[in-house]
Structure 1
């Protein structure tokens, strides 16, 4: 029965990774469209999801140990080791499916994190240049931070 509980825990962990990916995607869309007003909310939501992950991982690890004990595998095992030691093809398939899905999600999360970090750095640079150039024409930027027009275009109108 511990294997069933482990499978359910792995599904919860997958769901949490999906939520993290969604929140990163949401943050990326805000950055791409220049909706910087909401970035801190997106960052807070990402932090909330990340804060839940250690508890979920601890629960998973506890269940891995229980399943390992039930299946006669040494306690200090990984999910991969547990898959190799599964007593039936069905359990190998179920646990492999979870592992493959979580690995794919982790890779996608890593890629999206890199893009978001780049866009955040660009947004900070554009903001700093705009503030530094108050009173001096700084141009207009696209969402990637490239100068679109260098004339009198402004991100901040100081004449009001």
Structure 2
């Protein structure tokens, strides 16, 4: 009897820890075998408009894409988000141009094709973003009672705070970025031209018609023909 009593006590203790049976006696109810509660962790994200790519990675931020029809999002805010994205792309373009300049200055022309391809990829993305920006700017102009193709300064003057000051900040950033990109492009063009002249002079020297100097416009001054280092029949 004592053994049976002890066994019954152990069974009741196990049932108390596991809990009652589930519906219709199939499986245990809430207790030790119940799944632990789910823990939802929120990621720190910065929202940007839909560029059709699901997720975009920009700097240290993982950006989550939203649809254009997100409730409570006004058209001026949409325009500001696109301008943020375009500013990031212009900074990336400046970086790629700087890389190309360093490649040209170092003479490591084997990497020039890679650097140029990366620049073209960024430019293609900027062109796509410009289309979205134009559409969003027209929507913002219509919402503010302005005509289509209004300038960013005009939109900033008509937009309520804080969007007006933010649009002006975007405009100033675009002006500064455009100047930097123009200067980098000009420097790279000069380096490319100098590299072409150097390569042409080397080839002319090999075949025996090397330049004696250059004019002010960069044209080579070729002297009298001399014996070539390489047989022309090759």
Shorter-chain-normalised TM-score: which range? Answer: 0.7 to 0.9
Residue 96 (1) aligns with residue 168 (2): yes
After TM superposition, give the deviation of residue 135 of structure 1 in Å: 7.2
1:74 counterpart residue number: 147
After TM superposition, give the deviation of residue 86 of structure 1 in Å: 1.4
Where does structure 1 differ by over 4 angstroms across 4 or more consecutive aligned residues?
none
Residue 107 (1) aligns with residue 171 (2): no
The alignment yields a C-alpha RMSD, in angstroms, of 1.7
After TM superposition, give the deviation of residue 128 of structure 1 in Å: 1.4
Runs of at least 5 residues in structure 2 that lack an aligned partner in the other structure: 1-73, 211-229
Structure 1 pair 62–135 and aligned structure 2 pair: CA distance change class (3 A): closer
Higher helix residue share? 1
Give the Cα separation in 1 of the matches to 2:196 and 2:110: 13
Residue 125 (1) aligns with residue 197 (2): yes
Give the Cα separation in 2 of the matches to 1:10 and 1:135: 54
CA contact (8 A) 1:27 1:42 kept: yes
1:3-152 alignment to 2 at 5 Å?
A: 3-88=76-161, 90-134=162-206
After TM superposition, give the deviation of residue 67 of structure 1 in Å: 1.1
Give the Cα separation in 1 of the matches to 2:185 and 2:148: 34
After TM superposition, give the deviation of residue 31 of structure 1 in Å: 0.9
After TM superposition, give the deviation of residue 134 of structure 1 in Å: 2.3
Give the Cα separation in 2 of the matches to 1:22 and 1:32: 15
After TM superposition, give the deviation of residue 60 of structure 1 in Å: 0.4
CA contact (8 A) 2:104 2:112 kept: yes
* Alignment TM-score, normalising by the size of structure 1: 0.80
CA contact (8 A) 1:2 1:67 kept: yes
Larger radius of gyration: 2
Higher relative contact order (CA 8 A, sep 6+): 1
Higher strand residue share? 2
Runs of at least 5 residues in structure 1 that lack an aligned partner in the other structure: 139-157
* Alignment TM-score, normalising by the size of structure 2: 0.55
